[in-house]
Amino acid sequence: MTESFGERLRAGLDKRGPLCVGIDPHPGLLHAWGLDDSPAGLERFCRTVTGAVGDLAAVVKPQSAFFERWGSRGVAVLEETIADLRAAGALVLLDVKRGDIGSTMSAYAEAYLDRGSPLAVDAITVSPYLGFGSLRVAIASALANDAGLFVLARTSNPEAAELQALVADQVFAGVTEVNAGASPMGSIGVVVGVPQDHPLERLNGPILAPGFGAQGATAADLPGIAGAASHNLVPSVSRAVLDDPALIRERAARWRDDFAEQL
């Protein structure tokens, strides 16, 4: 690769529109599709989703836990899904929320960000709760491999509000520093699902916005989240797109268009 993640993401959002589709194949969803809760059912589910949105969504976000629960068989499906999505032109954001120190964080970075890894993706989610400095290894690996990170800052789940309010400013400051001078935007982003007083345009990076669809947020809520930085928003929707396998592409396109209208 010769383009940074920030450059690829900007191009993808401009070309395909502001949409991230989450792949969350939990047992209830597999059963609703008439599939077995098994690696075979998981593989069929992922192939259907990939075929429907791989060439439509700018970003697709598999949730690693739903693959890991099947051990090596599930991880094999995840590897295949990543390869299929990237072949279709989507950027792959793996939702793993990793966070650790030293050699352990280095190993996580090698697993998901090193170009030679079978699990290599365009970006991953990371947790800053061992200190923003603990992410420096992952940041260095991401930048060296033209990949990206999305750091948890102010997520949409209400349980997190009190804790995240204490550390969000440190996350924003750290991301702002790393992205300084990058064009058209930096490769280190944040996860923000609620409106912020912080001027997010200073981040100069992407903003993953969860909570749309099944969690209650609508496209009309989007402009209030990031203010002047709304052009860098990557709104994410999962269950509201995936509930009916026959309607995935239609629903994804509708959410994308609704988001674009609001932005």
Total residue length of the chain: 263
Cα 126 to Cα 94: distance, rounded to the nearest angstrom: 10
Dihedral (C-alpha) 240, 242, 244, 245: value to the nearest 10 degrees?
160
Which residue range(s) make up the domain with 190?
A: 5-262
Cα 103 to Cα 81: distance, rounded to the nearest angstrom: 28
Q: Find the mean pLDDT for residues 161-168.
A: 83
Q: Find the mean pLDDT for residues 248-260.
A: 95
pLDDT digits (tens, 9 = 90+) for 197-224: 788 899 999 999 987 876 777 888 888 8
Per-residue pLDDT at 214: 67
Tokens of 154: 């102010």
The pLDDT confidence band at residue 60, using thresholds 50, 70 and 90, is very high
Q: Find the mean pLDDT for residues 132-154.
A: 95
Cα 101 to Cα 258: distance, rounded to the nearest angstrom: 40
**Residue of 204, 198, 206, 205 lying closest to 227 (CA atoms):** 198
pLDDT digits (tens, 9 = 90+) for 88-103: 999 999 999 999 998 9
Cα 30 to Cα 44: distance, rounded to the nearest angstrom: 10
pLDDT digits (tens, 9 = 90+) for 4-47: 999 999 999 999 999 999 999 999 999 999 999 999 999 999 99
Q: Is the pLDDT of residue 1 over 90?
A: no
Per-residue pLDDT at 225: 86
Q: What is the DSSP letter of 217?
A: B
**Residue of 121, 246, 259 lying closest to 187 (CA atoms):** 121
Name the residues annotated as catalytic: 97
Q: Is the pLDDT of residue 150 over 90?
A: yes
The pLDDT confidence band at residue 234, using thresholds 50, 70 and 90, is very high
Report whether 239 contacts 213 (CB < 8 A). yes
- Total structural domains within the chain: 1
Cα 159 to Cα 162: distance, rounded to the nearest angstrom: 8
Cα 219 to Cα 215: distance, rounded to the nearest angstrom: 12
pLDDT digits (tens, 9 = 90+) for 114-124: 999 999 999 99
Report whether 113 contacts 146 (CB < 8 A). no
Q: Is the pLDDT of residue 166 over 70?
A: yes
Per-residue pLDDT at 217: 75
Per-residue pLDDT at 14: 97
- Residue 208: enclosing H or E segment and its boundaries? strand 207-212
Report whether 156 contacts 217 (CB < 8 A). yes
Q: pTM of the full predicted structure?
A: 0.94
Place of tokens 């010769």: 2
The alpha carbon of residue 81 and the mean position of all alpha carbons in its chain are separated, in whole angstroms, by: 15
Q: Is 209 exposed, middle or buried (0-12, 13-18, 19+ CB in 10 A)?
A: buried
Q: Is the pLDDT of residue 159 over 80?
A: yes
Q: What CATH number corresponds to the domain at position 116? A: 3.20.20.70
